[in-house]
């Protein structure tokens, strides 16, 4: 019997690498995409409306685009990521951070034409867009920026404007097919004129298109939207060079041939069945004769990426839930934030709640990836390849080529609260034998970054069990009862006689033996010790805590509280 031919096993790939291969293949058999590639390379595109403070969840989409562009370049392809500010969109609801007496009069105007709340920025849209984009370099996002309003005003959209308005019936057909005969899009002229009188773009209705003169007839009305009033102006106007803009779904389709977009992802809300991506794809195919970008394929919408959630709820700074993108960059080390947003496939929800100590789990997972990459931990060939790819994609610039000792967040936070200094905490690590003396400065910098994260965690999110302040002379615990004083005194004698020279694990086991020797429950020993040391009924794991403080210092602090309570 002939032996079965074994299939050649494919090398494991990170999800971004797999996407890059799929995009490369797509270009090879789509003539129009191949033509665009030869002209300008692969444009990986994304866009964001700068309506207010942008939350950290938006960073997931930006990083997906960033790493896919990087993986395309790794394949030897020309690829760049560009993020556009959708600053020609209208200001459609009051911003909770701004004075309504000043800004409500701008409702209905494009963000690009509204004054910035802060000096030094060109507009409202410019300010909120740059709140996030100025932090991209810190997060290792390689990206170019542009303004949708500028692209309209430069005339880049003019060819698509003419095609869309010359083929209004086809656009209406798309809306009827997807949303029914009574849908607004199946009747309305798909263009929002910028009123030359009041400067509003949300209050105008275009009703006629003169193909010969290439002008639109429009009216600026009071009843178009509930949140803004038009001025009543009407007339014929050119739609070109910033005379107005498409509504969102039509604009999305028009951007692709205008900019030559080959890749553009989006959140799953846009990619739902019959959603904005479905509509844009159909307009691109039926009206503009342009293949929708990856991950769509023709009329097939493809998958959107899942949300970044906090405590099971979608991140939303407008509702005061979560942190802004800029705050996230401030809080996390850049590599760890990239890891948080890139470790899971795009179709997996990222659920993170810093108030539930998720930072401890995140840092543990990050450290595991690093240990596998450097060969410290054993792993299968598959896992090693995936984790090494992830390590490279989460690195800022060239990946670090050295391993630095890892300090768990809870240990770092304990040391900081005991020593009150990063450098003293590092000395304590050496004393405890957790790290070697004489580490290179680059290794110490990695350790310092972990201490910086631990301090931010303690200051902002750590639960009560991880926060403490050691008692001191004149400020010992005065709440010990007589039974606790007796246990504390016996515990001091135990530490003096037996604790020196023990490892943390040995000390932990000995505490249980000590409790039995004085015929009391071990929880009473823990309570007496924590009350004596930090004036709380619980705290860090006791044996580790004692080793961190030092046995002699622990005895001294317990005796201070015994004396204060007597």
Q: How many CB atoms lie within 10 A of CB 87?
A: 26
DSSP three-state, residue 245? strand
> Is the same domain home to 417 and 390?
no
Do 388 and 415 lie in one domain? The reply is: no
pLDDT of residue 132: 95
**φ, ψ (nearest 5 deg) of residue 313:** -115, 145
- Specify if 258 maps to a domain: no
My answer on whether 394 and 416 are in the same domain is no
261 is a domain residue:
no
CA quadruple 166, 169, 174, 177: dihedral, nearest 10: -170
CA 358 to chain centre: 15
User: Are the C-beta atoms of 350 and 340 separated by less than 8 Å?
Assistant: yes
Among 375, 400, 425, identify where a domain stops: 400
Q: Note whether residue 266 is domain-resident.
A: no
Q: Supply angle C-alpha 20, 23, 27, rounded to 5.
A: 140
pLDDT by residue for the chain (566 residues), tens only, comes to 344 444 445 668 899 999 999 999 999 999 999 999 999 999 999 999 999 999 888 999 999 999 999 999 999 999 999 999 999 999 999 988 899 999 999 999 999 999 999 999 999 999 999 999 999 999 999 999 999 999 999 999 999 999 999 999 999 999 999 999 999 999 999 999 999 999 999 999 999 999 999 999 999 999 999 999 999 999 999 999 999 999 999 999 999 999 999 999 999 999 998 899 999 999 999 999 999 999 999 999 999 999 887 765 554 433 344 678 999 899 889 999 999 999 999 999 888 888 778 899 999 999 999 999 999 999 999 999 999 999 999 999 999 999 999 999 999 999 999 999 999 999 999 998 899 999 999 999 999 999 999 999 999 888 888 899 999 877 878 889 999 999 999 999 999 998 888 888 999 999 999 999 999 999 999 999 999 999 999 888 999 999 999 999 999 999 999 998 88
> How many domains does the chain fold into?
4
Q: Are 317 and 381 found together in one domain?
A: yes
Can you tell me the distance from the alpha carbon of 382 to that of 391, in angstroms, rounded to the nearest whole number? 14
Q: Which of 389, 388, 356 is nearest to 373 (CA)?
A: 388
Verify that 488 and 523 share a domain, yes or no: yes
d(CA 94, CA 82): 29
Quick one: pLDDT at residue 499? 87
pLDDT score, position 324: 87
Q: How far is the C-alpha of 168 from the C-alpha of 283, rounded, in Å? A: 11
Indicate if 436 and 525 belong to the same structural domain: no
Q: Which domain holds residue 486?
A: 482-565
**Residue 342, pLDDT score:** 93
Residue that finishes a domain, picked among 350, 377, 400: 400
pTM over 0.85: yes
User: Which residue, 294, 229, 282, is CA-closest to 20?
Assistant: 294
Identify the pLDDT of residue 466. 87
C-alpha torsion sign, points 394, 397, 399, 404: negative
Check: CB of residue 334 under 8 Å from CB of residue 138: yes
420/469 Cα distance (integer angstroms):
10
In a domain, 2, yes or no: no
CA 249 to chain centre: 25
Q: Does one domain contain both 222 and 345? A: no
Query: Which pLDDT value is given to residue 320?
Result: 40
Same domain? 150 vs 181: no
Kindly give the residue spans of alpha helices, DSSP state H, lying in 243-380. Answer: 248-259, 276-286, 325-331, 334-342, 358-373
Tell whether 3 is covered by a domain.
Answer: no
Half-sphere exposure of 212 (CA within 13 A, CB side): 0
Same domain for 86 and 153, yes or no, is yes
- For 133, residues 6+ apart whose C-beta sits below 8 A from its C-beta are 83, 143, 145
CA distance 387 to 371: 9
Task: Say how far apart CA 302 and CA 378 lie, in whole Å.
Answer: 37
Nearest to 244 by CA among 84, 115, 114, 88: 88
Q: What are the backbone dihedrals phi and psi of residue 237, each rounded to the nearest 5 degrees, phi first? A: -150, 150
**Domain termination residue (choose one: 400, 432, 451):** 400
CATH code, domain carrying 393: 3.40.50
Report the length, in residues, of the chain.
566
How many Cβ atoms from other residues are within 10 Å of residue 62's Cβ?
23
Q: What is the C-alpha to C-alpha distance for residues 483 and 295, in angstroms, rounded to an integer?
A: 68
Specify the CATH number for the domain of residue 486: 1.10.10.350
Neighbours of 9 (CB within 10 A): 8
| Predicted pLDDT at 313 | 53
Same domain (yes/no): 357, 425:
no
> Is position 285 within any domain?
no
The SS3 assignment for 79 reads: strand
**Is residue 445 domain-resident?**
yes
Q: Report helix, strand or coil for 316.
A: strand
CB-based contact 426:436 (threshold 8 Å)? no
**Three-state DSSP state, 464:** helix
Report yes or no on 282 lying in a domain: no
CA angle 510, 513, 518 (to 5 degrees): 125
Smallest Cα–Cα separation from 246: which of 171, 169, 180? Answer: 171
Same domain (yes/no): 224, 357: no
Same domain, residue pair 34 and 125: yes
pLDDT of 190: 98
Residues 6 or more apart whose CB falls under 8 angstroms from that of 361 comprise none
Residue 489 burial class via C-beta count within 10 angstroms: exposed 0-12, middle 13-18, buried 19 and up: middle
């Amino acid at each position: 019997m002939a032996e079965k031919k074994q299939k050649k096993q494919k090398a494991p790939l990170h999800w971004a690498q797999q996407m890059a291969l799929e995009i490369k293949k797509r270009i090879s058999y789509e003539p129009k995409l191949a033509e665009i590639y030869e002209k300008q390379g692969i444009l990986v595109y994304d866009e964001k409306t700068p309506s207010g403070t942008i939350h950290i969840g938006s960073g997931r989409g930006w990083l997906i685009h960033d790493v896919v562009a990087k993986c395309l370049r790794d394949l030897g392809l020309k690829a760049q990521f560009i993020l556009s500010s959708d600053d020609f969109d209208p200001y459609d609801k009051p911003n909770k951070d701004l004075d309504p007496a000043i800004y409500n009069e701008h409702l209905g105007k494009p963000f690009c034409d509204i004054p910035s709340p802060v000096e030094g920025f060109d507009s409202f849209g410019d300010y909120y867009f740059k709140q996030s984009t100025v932090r991209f370099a810190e997060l290792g996002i390689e990206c170019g920026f542009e303004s949708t309003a500028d692209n309209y005003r430069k005339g880049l959209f003019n060819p698509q404007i003419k095609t869309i308005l010359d083929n209004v019936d086809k656009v209406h057909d798309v809306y009827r097919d997807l949303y029914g005969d009574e849908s607004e899009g199946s009747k309305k002229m798909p263009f929002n004129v910028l009123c030359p009188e009041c400067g509003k773009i949300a209050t105008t209705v275009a009703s006629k298109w003169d193909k010969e003169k290439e002008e639109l007839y429009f009216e600026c009305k009071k009843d178009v939207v509930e949140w803004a009033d038009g001025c009543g102006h009407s007339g014929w106007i050119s739609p070109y060079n910033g005379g107005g803009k498409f509504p969102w779904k039509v604009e999305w389709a028009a951007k692709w041939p205008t900019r030559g977009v080959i890749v553009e992802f989006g959140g799953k809300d846009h990619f739902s069945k019959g959603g904005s991506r479905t509509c844009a794809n159909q307009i691109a195919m039926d009206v503009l004769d342009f293949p929708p970008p990856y991950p769509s394929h023709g009329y097939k919408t493809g998958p959107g990426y899942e949300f970044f959630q906090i405590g099971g709820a979608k991140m939303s700074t407008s509702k005061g839930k979560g942190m802004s993108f800029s705050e996230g960059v401030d809080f996390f080390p850049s590599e760890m934030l990239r890891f948080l947003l890139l470790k899971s496939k795009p179709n997996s929800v990222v659920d993170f709640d810093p108030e539930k100590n998720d930072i401890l789990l995140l840092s543990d997972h990050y450290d595991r990836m690093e240990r596998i990459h450097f060969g410290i931990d054993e792993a299968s060939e598959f896992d090693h390849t995936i984790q090494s790819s992830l390590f490279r994609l989460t690195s800022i610039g060239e990946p670090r080529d050295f391993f630095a000792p890892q300090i768990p967040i809870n240990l770092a936070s304990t040391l900081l609260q005991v020593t009150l200094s990063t450098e003293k905490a590092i000395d304590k690590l050496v004393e405890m034998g957790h790290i070697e003396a004489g580490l290179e400065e680059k290794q110490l910098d990695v350790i310092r970054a972990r201490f910086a994260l631990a301090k931010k965690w303690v200051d902002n999110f750590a639960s009560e069990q991880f926060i403490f302040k050691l008692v001191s002379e004149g400020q010992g615990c005065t709440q010990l009862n007589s039974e606790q004083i007796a246990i504390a005194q016996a515990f001091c004698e135990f530490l003096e006689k037996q604790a020196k020279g023990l490892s943390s694990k040995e000390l932990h086991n000995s505490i249980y033996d000590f409790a039995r020797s004085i015929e009391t429950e071990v929880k009473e020993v823990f309570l007496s010790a924590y009350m004596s040391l930090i004036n709380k009924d619980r705290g860090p794991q006791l044996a580790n805590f004692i080793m961190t403080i030092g046995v002699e210092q622990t005895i001294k602090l317990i005796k201070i509280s015994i004396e204060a309570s007597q």
